């Protein structure tokens, strides 16, 4: 796991090595073990290394091929690099310098070019400079675990693991706000790739590569899960056979991701996903497994008792730190530092806390990320399944239950009423996923009239799906393409790398993803039971009475903080009329919304926190 940064200029003048060095060192937490820099003419590549595979100097980057033609900077892990190495050796004689996956990746690109991406099982973002063709090739992993930000104009291409490094490279680059990205953020809390908060910076989308040379830039998708059709024959498969296949597929993924030359452990919440990953690690390990949990003194936020029961059953070397939820407030300055653009997901705070705990014992931690999106874990998948039939009847007939629900006192039922007014299942899903819900008045007309809402964005993406998909299957696929990479995986990447910890997600292995995409909905959401097949597999390893409990997940009491410990901080930002106007936000409506939150008549914590973080970012980034 590392930090990468680089630049290619197609105009006269060389690389400013001082700026490149400073940009590289802005990524120091991503790679504390080694530094490197390579420049030639108008090209410069730099690297910060967290040593995990081949911790010797033979893994140093930037790394040149044996011929000297290609130079690579790379962030991530290729878990099957030993298999690829053997395949390369079978084709011809290869002279290896060391045992790193970086050298294998470089040789694979040299041999197969773009096709090398079809051989990789891992998480990665990397760039290879071809000194002969004067061309840069860059790629990002299939699921979007590792970040790749870039700027391109007719003369300059710059890239980095974080956008702040690009601004260090190009200090004159505009910081103008991207209105479409801003609209999406306000509605859903993150910036769907390729958009960012800035006009001048983009994110390379998951499963895409790009090529830049003097003729311009080309961006293409190399892997596409959008058109995968669930295998209807599997609806009649025997449950035991499917469980055996899933067990074998997951076991292989976990085994691959346990390859490490440094200490390794796992996050353990006590939920289905992380517990199953730890169980498989325990099955494969001969020396035990270290597990890590953050506990809270307040029972309503605490998962540590569940995690401890799982740990005792699996006999792991368990490490737990118990804190008050208010102790998380001490992490906010660090949160503001490492998330260098607005980031709404406040579960990043406990994610940072558990990463800090784990880094005291290990360098690598496996997680359960991806299980919900691939196997049907979220409650609204069950809701959409139950409501799917309603969206097949004319909207006029849906007005009757919608109107009835709107008169009930429960705010959740009122939101359900609004959901039923949507014209199609994708728009209904967008409403459930939205953090703005019925607070759209906080956006000024200048923003809404020049941009599209997230529902339109999701509808555009859904047009690429098979027509046969159910509402629930479409929702899972949209989460996999949007929420997973641009919210959850970004949260894990930044939170863990803030403490120089590498986080790995076995459930996102290509074999597991392929199995999940082929699996019909009935094996994911059945009745009121979510994550049906994955849950049944977990029962093979851990008793049902230990695992079965309401889904909780990492979170933080932001609703309470906004009425207490963060009230002064939030109010200062909500009253910054100049910044709000620059962000196309309505000061009067935000204050009205905050007053209703303070009174307890509405819980608007998500959108209020998102706005406060946005204003905080803008003040630091634009009003310096």
Which residues have CB under 8 Å from 40's CB, separation 6+?
A: 131
H or E element that contains 349:
helix 348-359
Which residues have CB under 8 Å from 461's CB, separation 6+?
A: 226, 478, 481, 482
DSSP string, 64-79: E-TTSSEEEEEEEEET
Q: 269 vs 50, 93, 480, 487, CA distance in Å?
A: 26, 47, 21, 19
3-state SS, residue 573: helix
How far is it, in rounded angstroms, from Cα 228 to Cα 234?
A: 14
Cβ-contact 65, 6 below 8 angstroms: no
The token pair at 104 is 């294998």
Write down how long the chain is: 624
For tokens 């991207």, name the residue: 178
Which residues have CB under 8 Å from 117's CB, separation 6+?
A: 139, 209, 222, 223
Q: CA dihedral defined by 449, 452, 453, 459, rounded to 10 degrees?
A: 150
Q: CA dihedral defined by 561, 563, 565, 569, rounded to 10 degrees?
A: 100
How far is it, in rounded angstroms, from Cα 201 to Cα 185?
A: 16
Calculate the CA 527 to chain-centre distance.
29
For residue 146, what is the DSSP state?
Answer: S
Q: CA nearest 322: which of 300, 353, 367?
A: 353
2, 20, 182, 590: which one is catalytic?
A: 2
Instruction: Provide Rg for the chain, Cα atoms.
Output: 24
How far is it, in rounded angstroms, from Cα 171 to Cα 28?
A: 19
The angle formed by the CA atoms of residues 34, 35 and 39, to the nearest 5 degrees, is 150
Q: CA nearest 63: which of 137, 3, 146, 129?
A: 129
Active site annotation includes 2: yes
Residue positions annotated with a catalytic role: 2
């Amino acid at each position: 796991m590392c930090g990468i940064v680089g630049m290619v200029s197609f105009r006269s003048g060389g690389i400013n090595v001082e700026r490149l060095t400073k940009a590289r060192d802005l990524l120091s937490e991503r790679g504390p073990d080694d530094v490197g820099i390579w420049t030639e003419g108008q090209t410069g590549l730099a690297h910060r290394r967290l040593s995990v595979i081949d911790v010797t100097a033979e893994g140093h980057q930037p790394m040149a091929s044996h011929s000297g033609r290609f130079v690579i900077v790379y962030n991530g892990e290729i878990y099957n690099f030993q298999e690829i190495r053997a395949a390369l050796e079978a084709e011809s004689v290869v002279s290896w310098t060391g045992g790193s996956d970086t050298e294998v990746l470089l040789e694979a690109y040299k041999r197969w070019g773009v096709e090398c991406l079809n051989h990789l099982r891992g998480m990665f973002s990397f760039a290879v400079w071809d000194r002969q063709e004067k061309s840069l090739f860059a790629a990002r992993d299939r699921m979007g675990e590792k970040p790749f930000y870039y700027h391109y104009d007719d003369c300059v291409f710059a890239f980095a693991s974080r956008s702040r490094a690009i601004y260090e490279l190009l200090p004159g680059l505009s910081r103008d706000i991207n209105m479409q990205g801003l609209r999406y953020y306000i509605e859903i809390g993150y910036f769907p790739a390729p958009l960012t908060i800035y006009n001048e910076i983009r994110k390379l989308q998951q499963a895409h590569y790009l090529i830049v040379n003097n003729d311009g830039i080309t961006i293409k998708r190399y892997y596409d899960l959008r058109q995968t059709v669930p295998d209807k024959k599997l609806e009649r498969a025997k449950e035991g056979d499917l469980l055996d296949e899933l067990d074998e597929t997951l076991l292989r993924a976990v085994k691959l991701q346990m390859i490490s030359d440094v200490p390794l452990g796992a996050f353990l919440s006590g939920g289905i996903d992380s517990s199953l990953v730890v169980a498989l690690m325990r099955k494969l390990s001969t020396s035990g497994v270290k597990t890590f949990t953050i506990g809270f003194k307040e029972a309503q936020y605490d998962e540590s008792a569940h995690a401890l029961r799982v740990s005792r059953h699996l006999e792991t070397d368990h490490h737990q730190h118990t804190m008050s939820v208010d102790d998380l407030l001490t992490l906010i300055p660090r949160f503001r530092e490492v998330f260098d653009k607005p980031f709404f997901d406040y579960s990043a705070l406990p994610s940072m806390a558990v990463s800090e705990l784990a880094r005291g014992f290990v360098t690598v931690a496996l997680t359960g990320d991806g299980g919900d999106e691939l196997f049907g874990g979220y409650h609204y998948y069950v809701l959409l399944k139950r409501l799917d039939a309603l969206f097949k009847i004319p909207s006029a007939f849906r007005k009757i239950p919608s109107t009835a629900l709107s008169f009930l006192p429960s705010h959740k039922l009122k939101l359900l009423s609004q959901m039923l007014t949507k014209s199609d299942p994708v728009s209904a899903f967008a409403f459930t996923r939205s953090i703005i819900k019925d607070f759209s008045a906080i956006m000024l007309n200048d923003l809404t009239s020049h941009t599209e809402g997230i529902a339109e964005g999701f509808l555009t993406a859904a047009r690429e799906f098979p027509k046969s998909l159910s509402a629930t299957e479409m929702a899972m696929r949209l989460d996999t393409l949007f929420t997973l990479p641009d919210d959850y995986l970004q949260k894990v990447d930044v939170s863990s790398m803030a403490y120089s910890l590498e986080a790995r997600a076995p459930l996102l292995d290509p074999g597991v993803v392929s199995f999940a995409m082929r699996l019909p909905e009935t094996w994911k959401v059945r009745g009121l039971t979510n994550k049906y097949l994955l849950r049944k597999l977990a029962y093979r390893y851990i008793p049902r009475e230990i695992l079965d409990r309401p889904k909780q997940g990492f979170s933080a009491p932001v609703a309470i903080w906004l009425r207490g410990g963060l009230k002064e901080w939030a109010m200062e930002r909500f009253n910054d009329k100049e910044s709000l106007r620059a962000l196309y936000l309505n000061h009067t409506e935000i204050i009205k919304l905050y007053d209703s939150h303070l009174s307890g008549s509405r819980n608007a914590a998500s959108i209020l926190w998102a706005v406060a973080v946005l204003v905080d970012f803008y003040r630091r980034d634009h009003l310096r």
